[in-house]
Structure 1
Amino acid sequence: MKKAQIIIDKYFLTGKVDKRIFGSFIEQLGRAVYQGIYQEGSPLSDEQGFRRDTLELVRELQVPIVRYPGGNFVSGFKWEDSVGPKELRPARPELAWGVIENNHFGLDEFVDWAKKADTDIMMAVNLGTRGPEEARNLLEYCNFKGGTYYSDMRKANGHAEPHNIKTWCLGNEMDGPWQMGHKTAYEYGRTAAETSRIMKMLDPEIETVACGSSNLMMPTFGDWEYTVLDECYDLVDYMSLHQYYGNAADDTPDFLANSKGMDDFISGVVSICDAVRAKKHGKKRINLSFDEWNVWYHSNAADEKLEKWGQAPHQLEDIYNFEDALLVGSMLITLLRHADRVKMACLAQLVNVIAPIMTSDTGAWRQTIFYPYMYTSIFGRGTVLNTQVLAPVYDSRNYCDVSYLDSVCVWNEEKDTLTIFAVNKSLEEDLEVSCDLRQFEGYQVQEHIVLTNDDMKAVNTEADPEKVVPVKSAASRIDGGKLSTVLGKHSWNMIRLAK
């Protein structure tokens, strides 16, 4: 059996967890909205057409913030089409995903849904086919109390009080040639700077997110971030990161090693942000919003066969297996390990579209990735300890020196709890792990939750929704202030300790 050690010190801290690191994402795409969170006339929906079963699962995840309405969709979005009486809202061809958008679900509906889901909103503005003026008008509609054209429009549409949305994305993936209105780094940086400046003149309390590269492999990565921030550093608050991972080659060790790639990606963007800060002698620090991340590849072949100009097709509907849940667990650990700089993150997406929750006309169920997301969201709040891992390593097809053990420790001093999240990536061997916890006198193991399965490709379905579910383990114990445990081969683990 391989052996590993987790080393922590209660005085060596990475940073406090911003709860928004456990955010998610809803785009007007596929069945994320229609049949996902909203289905008029369904016996499963409430009086506003919101799916009650979906709402229950979203609340179970304790999602603190949801990004909306895109994504690629936002770069052609006319927000005015999505408010007011539904019978007067225009249906339009939606160019990003090749469908017809009827706008029956829009901005005000999403605000109402978010309240029922107990979540805040990260709103995106269209900087593709539109610009600073339309963004300012949207902010006025959402946040101005009244007595102006757009705030009074909101009131006339049945929302007397402001929506009070405080987090705003300045466009989406504007470096991508697939994006409507995509721009050079300089063009986008200037537009982002002026949009953020004008919006903050209207509401100084908002925070804005500038677009980073669409993914790590973009040929302009690095240059894009530096140039954009060189133009807008003093006017924005966050830089975004997007990255998805897949296993089309069916190489599980390399697939699970992608958490190392994510870690390197974050470190690289942090370095660029700090380089611009140094150049400008900046007083503030730009933090990160990893507002699109997940596994995404299962649905690619099916999506190539879709006919265009339908409504709410089965699009980007990845059916997640057990190994996907392992990587999602590792990616959550990676985000927490960077809690000093990653302040927001969005698992993309929330329902039906590359999502932890799936629906049909007869119900909703949890995909495999639901469980590491849920447990980390609930118990990963507090202060991240600078977690050092000593473990055996391996080389994969794309990575070198990959640790078999991903782990992070989160200390909630207020509640006197310590939570250890850990993934054993070995496909053949259990891992014997120790951790000296004598600084946490009186702490005892409360529970050890394990997600594992003999079949790496096992999935949850509506007919068999509990094929992959977490179980309790008795493998962890404390003796003389030292924790010892065994993490089973290919397993995700959460060990909770408390006084």
Structure 2
Amino acid sequence: MWGSFTEQLGRSVYEGIYQPDHPTADEDGFRKDVIEAVKKLNVPLIRYPGGNFVSGYNWEDGIGPKDQRPTKLDLAWRSKETNQFGLHEFMKWCQKVGAKPDMAVNLGTRGIDEARNLIEYCNYPKGTYWSDMRRQNGAEKPFNIKVWSLGNEMDGDWQIGHKTAYEYGRLAHETAKVMRLVDPDIELVASGSSLRTMPTFGTWEETLLDHVYDDVDYLSLHQYYDNYDDNLAEFLGKSVDFDGFISDVVAVCDAVKARRHSNKRINLSMDEWNVWYHSKADDDKQAPWQEAPHLLEDHYNFEDALLVGSLAITLMKHADRVKIGCLAQLINVIAPIMTNTTGEPSVWYQSIFYPFMQVSNFAQGIALKSQQDVPAYKAKDYDVPYTDSMATFNPDKDELTIFVENKSKEKVEFESTLANFDVTGIVEATQFCGYDIKKTNEDQSMKLQTLSSITVSDNKVSANLEPLSWNVIRLNAKD
């Protein structure tokens, strides 16, 4: 399930989702221009409220009359939080963009009691203290939130309430237990390693799963990439590292399964992934304790879009185990969508918007296994295929979609034989190419273009791929 992520960080919520004084604001203070942009991404799941923010957050501060909500210091991002946007606002906004929530509970400064109260408030129909408070606050029916995250990045010392794997594992187990007593039908995500380079990577997963294997449905993993070395070949090769990270986590999960003689399989939630590094120097200079400061506002260039596309292909290749993939984040903060508070354009799309939009809309249904024979180049740590591809089949629409990226600076002849499918025509073929690798999209000149050099014959697809290009080929097909 392709998803995204938002938290009270920078301008992600305030001046992003919520800006009551903006010309496009609706009756709830939500920016309608942002709602329309998010709808184009078609993200069915949005993780909230964090992220680092959740580990110091009291959800009760964001409910009830707005004039009675407290302003507090957010220690995670050294900002002021007005709590004008909270649980009810998020749930109402999700309805408007057509998404379901992945709700995180605070296992940093809080824990079991907060979690049981929150799920009672959200999911219990009526007749109890917390469920009746929800009804008094305007939500007669329960929210019925089904996906819940047990904290965030608890392996990181930067996290408020950071814990050892043992400490977190015990807390996550006890929290899961009480949450399932309130609602046995929920799905739970345990917090895995924040990065593959964490010193506790592997041992964290193993220790944690010893405590929560029977309690949770997913183990999370997070990964961000940078290009501080300004080496395009190395940068695009980081999709190979991404692939290895996922494979390693699967191996640990399955090792614990074997040792426990369990029939249960733990799936993965890649609920934070993206490129992130452009804004860090400016973020370090930011004065603390502002409301909605400009934080983590990376302006993505064309090479970033190429890596995001390749990372998405990698997630598809692991669709048997990665069941949730949330691009972090959604608006203004390391995001595909940016806003201006005044003037035009009020909303603009970053370079990474285009590959993510296409996978979130068209990588649906069944991920198809493939045998690939393509040349590779030597990066510092990896052999990197010049051509990265994946196909999905949506039986509800009789549509087969091929996602293929050319990482070479030369044109490439791409050919794919579609065994066991009857291909009857081309729905659409696009390419995203021809831009300087350092070009960003503030001028909104980046667009998807038609891929015209494509032929389909005898269930064989052929195309000439432009150098450094992201390509999507949609076909009418029956299996």
| C-alpha separation in 1, matches of 2:73 and 2:5 | 22
CA contact (8 A) 1:124 1:169 kept: yes
CA contact (8 A) 1:458 1:468 kept: no
**Structure 1 unaligned regions, length at least 5:** 1-19
1:476 counterpart (454, 466, 472): 454
2:392 counterpart (386, 410, 417): 410
Residue 479 of structure 1 and its aligned partner are, at CA, apart by: 2.4
Structure 1 residue aligned with 2:176: 196
1:168-207 CA distances to partner (integer Å, 9 max, x unpaired)? 0000000111111110001101111110111001100100
- Structure with more contact order per residue of length (Cα contacts < 8 Å, sep ≥ 6): 1
Structure 1 residue aligned with 2:361: 378
Matched, 1:459 2:433: no
**440-449 or 139-148, larger mean C-alpha shift:** 440-449
Structure 2 residue aligned with 1:212: 192
**359-368 or 216-225, larger mean C-alpha shift:** 359-368
| C-alpha separation in 1, matches of 2:373 and 2:388 | 10
CA contact (8 A) 1:445 1:476 kept: no
1:420 counterpart (402, 409, 413): 402
Secondary structure of 2:471's counterpart equals strand
| C-alpha separation in 1, matches of 2:264 and 2:304 | 37
Secondary structure of 2:291's counterpart equals coil
| C-alpha separation in 2, matches of 1:456 and 1:82 | 42
Matched, 1:395 2:378: yes
Number of residue-to-residue matches in the alignment: 474
Matched, 1:259 2:235: no
Q: Which amino acid aligns with 1:360?
A: N
| C-alpha separation in 2, matches of 1:108 and 1:479 | 53
Instruction: Calculate the TM-score normalised by the size of structure 1.
Output: 0.94
CA contact (8 A) 1:239 1:289 kept: yes
Structure 2 residue aligned with 1:497: 475
CA contact (8 A) 1:421 1:493 kept: yes
Q: Which amino acid aligns with 2:54?
A: V
CA contact (8 A) 1:448 1:475 kept: no
Aligned pairs for 1:136-215 (under 5 A) are 136-215=116-195
CA contact (8 A) 2:336 2:353 kept: yes
CA contact (8 A) 2:300 2:351 kept: yes
CA contact (8 A) 1:322 1:368 kept: yes
Matched, 1:82 2:65: no
Secondary structure of 2:39's counterpart equals helix
Secondary structure of 2:248's counterpart equals helix
Taking only the aligned residue pairs, the percentage that are identical comes to 55
Structure 1 residue aligned with 2:463: 485
Residue 45 of structure 1 and its aligned partner are, at CA, apart by: 0.7
| C-alpha separation in 2, matches of 1:493 and 1:251 | 22
Residue 382 of structure 1 and its aligned partner are, at CA, apart by: 1.1
Residue 439 of structure 1 and its aligned partner are, at CA, apart by: 3.0
Matched, 1:244 2:224: yes
Structure 2 residue aligned with 1:109: 89
| C-alpha separation in 2, matches of 1:41 and 1:415 | 42
**Structure 2 unaligned regions, length at least 5:** none
Secondary structure of 1:121's counterpart equals strand
Aligned pairs for 1:348-367 (under 5 A) are 348-361=328-341, 362=343, 363-367=346-350
CA contact (8 A) 2:168 2:208 kept: yes
1:64 counterpart (41, 44, 52): 44
Structure 2 residue aligned with 1:280: 260
Residue 435 of structure 1 and its aligned partner are, at CA, apart by: 1.3
Aligned pairs for 1:337-352 (under 5 A) are 337-352=317-332
| C-alpha separation in 2, matches of 1:492 and 1:262 | 18
1:262-288 CA distances to partner (integer Å, 9 max, x unpaired)? 110000000000011111111210000
CA contact (8 A) 1:66 1:120 kept: yes
Q: Which amino acid aligns with 1:353?
A: V
| C-alpha separation in 2, matches of 1:160 and 1:455 | 53
Residue 438 of structure 1 and its aligned partner are, at CA, apart by: 5.4
2:33 counterpart (45, 50, 53): 53
**409-418 or 255-264, larger mean C-alpha shift:** 409-418
Q: Which amino acid aligns with 1:139?
A: I
| C-alpha separation in 1, matches of 2:461 and 2:434 | 25
Secondary structure of 2:438's counterpart equals coil
1:218-266 CA distances to partner (integer Å, 9 max, x unpaired)? 0000000000001110011100000000111111111111111111000
Q: Which amino acid aligns with 2:386?
A: Y
| C-alpha separation in 2, matches of 1:431 and 1:138 | 54
**476-485 or 271-280, larger mean C-alpha shift:** 476-485
Secondary structure of 2:253's counterpart equals helix
Secondary structure of 2:36's counterpart equals helix
RMSD between aligned residues? 0.9
Instruction: Calculate the TM-score normalised by the size of structure 2.
Output: 0.98
Q: Which amino acid aligns with 2:330?
A: L
Aligned pairs for 1:295-310 (under 5 A) are 295-310=275-290
Q: Runs in 1 of length 4+ with deviation above 6 angstroms?
A: none
Secondary structure of 1:234's counterpart equals coil
Secondary structure of 1:292's counterpart equals strand
Q: Which amino acid aligns with 1:157?
A: N
Residue 416 of structure 1 and its aligned partner are, at CA, apart by: 1.8
| C-alpha separation in 2, matches of 1:443 and 1:188 | 53
Secondary structure of 2:290's counterpart equals coil
1:369 counterpart (345, 352, 357): 352
